[in-house]
Amino acid sequence: MRCPGCGEADKGVAIVGNGLKCQHARCAGKGVRAGFRSVVDLVMEVRGVDAKQAVELLAARFGFAAFGEGERRGEGAPSPLPASIDATLPSIIVNDRQHRDLIEDARRAVVASNVERLEKALTALPSTADPQPLFVRAGRVVGLGSDEGAPALNDTTDAAMYGLLVRVANWLRVTRDEETVSVAPPGDVSRDLLTYPPRELPEIQGVVTTPVFGADGSLVTTAGYHARERLWLHVDPALGPIGVPSNPSPANIAFARDLFLKELLVDFPFVADGDRAHALAGFLLPFARRLIDGPTPLHVLEAPAAGSGKGLIATAIQLVATGTNSEPRSLSPVEEECRKMLTAELTGGKSIILLDNVSEKRVLDSAPLASVLTSEVWRDRVLGETRMVSLPNRALWLMSGNNPRFSLEIARRCVRIRIDAKRDMPWRRADFKHDPLIGWVRENRGLLVRAALVLVQAWIAAGRPRCSARLGSFESWAAVVGGILQVAGVPGFLGNTDDFYESSDAEGGAWRELVALWWERSKDAPLRVTDVNALCAERELFEDLRGDGTERSQQTKLGKALQASRDRVFGGFRIQLMRDDKHKGRSYMLVPVGEEGERAARASGEWVDDAETGPTMCEGEVDPWAA
């Protein structure tokens, strides 16, 4: 037989599939196989046979050696196969193939093996040292594993995906002698699978360890993946059976409510009913989160002194909802670092995020925190990369601190849970009903989980009545959680918001004090920034904002603050920007707004309000339209 590439007589020429193969380096790239395919096609047409039969006829006629079907490069491995391969795994040939076909084979192997890993995870979660079942979260491939005994979602790294590819398939290369040898998977295959996640991988938003209510009000109790809610339920066997009646009786509701208020929370010295109601709301939120269409506020655990029990409540909330006590995080004053921390916390799909020990020495004003609290989806740049990631925000946000101070933007996104032992060294208290409390919570976690589910189910059975109390940006949360507490007979929901804003909104308090002094001294006469700065200096207002620099420096900083606060209302007065053409500068004036502004103006003795004579006027002002 002569080589179809160079014409040299060579008995070693062989038919491989429907092509020819020789060992001549000079024949490389001459398209020998492609040329022979036309011969095979002609035989198929003339003889009316298929490709395999055509190759066999040509081999018998010309004395070629022929390999069998399934031994073509890219579709199977010519015999003999390496002894090291696993016959139960698919084999993938890496050379002489389009890369898209190679990636497709890898995708199939990953998806097929993922089914088995998901089944195994129903009974035991893999450790970080074992291949994990894969999901897609916010466009990223994540693995479900165990973090110190608790289920957690972890970003799948390039190295982790590469290690998975090594384990789920036999990776082979066919040599020039048509021998098959084992090779490592191409590195770019793992990177492609991470960049373009297989569509067959299930989407996930989070992991829970207790039954929770779905968006439609159904109770999710079966362990495993739930596609409709996009969550994984890993039930803690220590909980025992959780039986929740579809229509809880008044006795069921009373028992569930009292288990929290008269047992778990009974020894905490809450300042008002609203603080107690918000503490119970914190316990219930992880179970009812998917019933809420929108973001949820920051639950602020505060006290006048350390050791009052703030951390104890936070720990109890975490233990009931998750069975573990996760590590708290601190807020960096550097916004870039704060943003990175928030993204990292949401990436893990945690159901509770605790920000601990907020300092009372400075006013907390964080743009990233304010943004994430009112976002259903948090968008940020992936650390170390240029692409953006979109993460669902389904967490319960907790914060603890001693008399924390907030900017107005943060304060309006919070609900207060304040406790006050009214004694020195409150950590030395010993008169507790359950001591230690955390041990009691662990022992009775099953009962507490059932109690929380009963209170939510009672609200659903009652027709989901919506609470009329409202909190801006968190309307759905207020309607749902307030409704649950109303059905449970718990008073005080959102009843302490005004007191909280007054005590913690340092920025708003300073503005209200300034405009009161401003109106007292100048009424509605326009003032320049220099005049307003003098008023601030007189009452020592905005010292942090104005700084301790020169008077010119203070005026510049105050001017920027006034510009940023234009048209805002404080204490019934709107700060209105005016133009002073004479001095080519800016001036500001106060305009009374609404009933609160009218009351303040009347109190000054210079406000006249006569509905029948038209607009209100100050004494001494001349009406040009009067007769």
pLDDT of 212 strictly over 60: yes
List alpha helices for 157-309, DSSP H: 158-168, 187-195, 250-258, 273-288
Select from 38, 19, 166 the least CA-distant residue to 96.
19
pLDDT grade for 82, boundaries at 50, 70 and 90? low
pLDDT in tens, 364-378: 889 999 999 999 999
Residue, of 3 and 469, whose pLDDT is higher: 469
d(CA 89, CA 107): 14
d(CA 248, CA 514): 53
d(CA 18, CA 31): 13
> Given this model, what pLDDT does residue 610 score?
43
The whole-chain average pLDDT of the chain stands at 84
pLDDT grade for 626, boundaries at 50, 70 and 90? very low
Let me know: does 307 contact 350? Beta carbons within 8 Å: no
Interstrand relation of 219-220 and 224-226 (parallel, antiparallel or unpaired): unpaired
List alpha helices for 99-215, DSSP H: 99-121, 158-168, 187-195
Q: Which of 410-414, 500-504, 583-587 has the highest mean pLDDT?
A: 410-414
Q: What angle do the packed helices 529-539 and 506-522 form, to 10 degrees?
A: 110
Q: At 286, which amino acid appears?
A: P
pLDDT in tens, 490-546: 999 999 888 888 777 667 778 888 999 999 888 888 999 999 999 999 888 888 788
pLDDT grade for 574, boundaries at 50, 70 and 90? very high
> Given this model, what pLDDT does residue 252 score?
96
Q: Specify burial of residue 498 (Cβ count, 10 A radius: 0-12, 13-18, 19+).
A: exposed
d(CA 368, CA 480): 26
DSSP secondary structure code for residue 67 in this structure: P
Select from 1, 39, 15, 38 the least CA-distant residue to 178.
15
Q: What share of the chain is helix, strand, coil (3-state, %, to 5)?
A: 40, 20, 40
pLDDT in tens, 280-304: 999 999 999 999 999 999 999 999 9
Structure tokens at 116: 């088995």
